[in-house]
Chain A
């Protein structure tokens, strides 16, 4: 049995320290953007949330490959938690992006902007993961179908990203490019620390969720071993192997 709680305290402290440092840098170190002014400060939270969310979806797909290769349902659970977390971060990116759009463009949403719409499509695609998963009663089938979905949808994420990058008509700012982007040094440092903080937050929350699910699973196993199958109530809506 894996112990997901190992190293969680250190990871949590590192996350708190990095996010605190990022907030100090955002508000007291990074200069005001000449074009956007104070509104640009949203960028330090919105872009890392979007990047980590997309990477989380891919991570979920990679973990699902582990399940399809080995048949071990713990890989499916890891994939489920990775996608669940990425979806929360994705919603955060959508809301903060929408606030930025309202402040910068005067609209909460712009439908003819490929970056926004493509990100919404990815989030909506993964929002169907849970209903699909829990529509299947057989736990083995549920895990297999969910893994197939996670792999295919995970592969769609970089393809979608590339398609948007190749699009010519966009107004959404480009922050990261192969040549290092157009950020000055202090802004780039602040952005990188923010990105690190959000990545650590994702890793911490993933481990917390896994540790919680693992603890519940162990309680159920103990109950079954001590009191028999009848003593264990139906699991309800859960991806955890019983």
Chain B
């Protein structure tokens, strides 16, 4: 921590704006990528949820059919 306080102030008035710009571009690229990945993950989760509901509906239909057949016998 003392290293941080001992370091000279960043010259943000002149060349610093370009350096800051370059590093902001880097961080922005990563953030955009993470946002896109988060959107994709949400879509996959939604698909999985939908699939689970469809499988459960199908199972309950099959169970009802088995019950009906059992009662018919």
Residues of chain A whose beta carbon lies under 8 Å from any beta carbon of chain B: 24, 27-29, 37-39, 41-42, 45-46, 49, 88, 91-92, 95-96, 99-100, 102-103, 201, 205, 208-209, 212, 215-216, 219, 222-223, 226-227, 231
Contact of A45 among B3, B22, B37, B40 (CB under 8 A): B22
Most buried by B among A88, A91, A96: A96
Going nearest first, the 7 A-B pairs with the smallest beta carbon separation are: A103-B18, A96-B22, A38-B15, A42-B22, A28-B7, A39-B15, A99-B22
Q: What is the chain A residue whose CB lies nearest that of B6?
A: A28
Closest-by-CB residue of A relative to B55 is A226
How far apart sit A231 and B50, CA to CA, in the bound complex (Å)? Answer: 12
Bound together, the chains give a CA A38 to CA B58 distance in angstroms of 66
B70 within 8 A of A: no
Question: Quick check: A92 and B48 within 8 Å, CB to CB?
Answer: no
Q: How far is the CA of A205 from the CA of B26 in the complex (A)?
A: 14
Partner of B21, one of A27, A37, A99, A231: A99
| Cross-chain contact A226 with B15 (CB below 8 angstroms) | no
B31 CB contacts on chain A under 8 angstroms: none
Q: List B contacts of A37 (CB < 8 A).
A: 15
29 A–B contacts from the bound complex (CB under 8 Å): A24-B3, A28-B4, A38-B10, A38-B11, A38-B16, A41-B19, A42-B19, A42-B22, A45-B23, A46-B22, A88-B33, A92-B26, A92-B29, A95-B22, A96-B22, A96-B25, A99-B22, A100-B18, A103-B15, A201-B30, A208-B37, A209-B37, A212-B40, A216-B44, A216-B47, A219-B44, A223-B51, A226-B58, A231-B54
Q: How far is the CA of A209 from the CA of B51 in the complex (A)?
A: 22
Complex formed: what's the CA distance from A212 to B33 in Å? 13
Complex Cα–Cα for A13 and B13 (A): 34
Q: Is the interface of B mostly helix, strand, loop or mixed?
A: helix
**Hey, which chain A residues are within 8 Å of B14, CB to CB?**
38
* Bound-complex Cα distance A24 to B1 (A): 11
Assess whether B47 is in contact with A219, with CB atoms less than 8 Å apart: yes
Hey, which chain A residues are within 8 Å of B11, CB to CB?
38
Q: Which residues of A contact B47 (CB under 8 A)?
A: 216, 219, 223
> For residue A231, which residues in chain B have a CB less than 8 angstroms away from its CB?
54
Q: For A92, list chain B residues within 8 Å (CB).
A: 25-26, 29
List the A residue with the shortest CB-CB distance to B50. Answer: A223
Q: Which of A28, A99, A201, A205 contacts B3 (CB 8 A)?
A: A28
- Distance in angstroms between the alpha carbons of A161 and B54 in the assembled complex: 54
- What residues of chain A lie closer than 8 Å to B18, measured between beta carbons? 39, 42, 99-100, 102-103
Considering the chains assembled together, what is the distance between the CA atoms of A132 and B52 in angstroms?
37
Contact B55 A38 (CB under 8 A): no
Q: Which residues of chain A have C-beta atoms less than 8 A from B3's C-beta? A: 24, 28-29
Q: B26 touching A96 by the CB < 8 A rule?
A: yes
Q: Is the CB of A38 within 8 A of B51?
A: no
**A150 vs B47: C-alpha distance when bound (angstroms):** 32
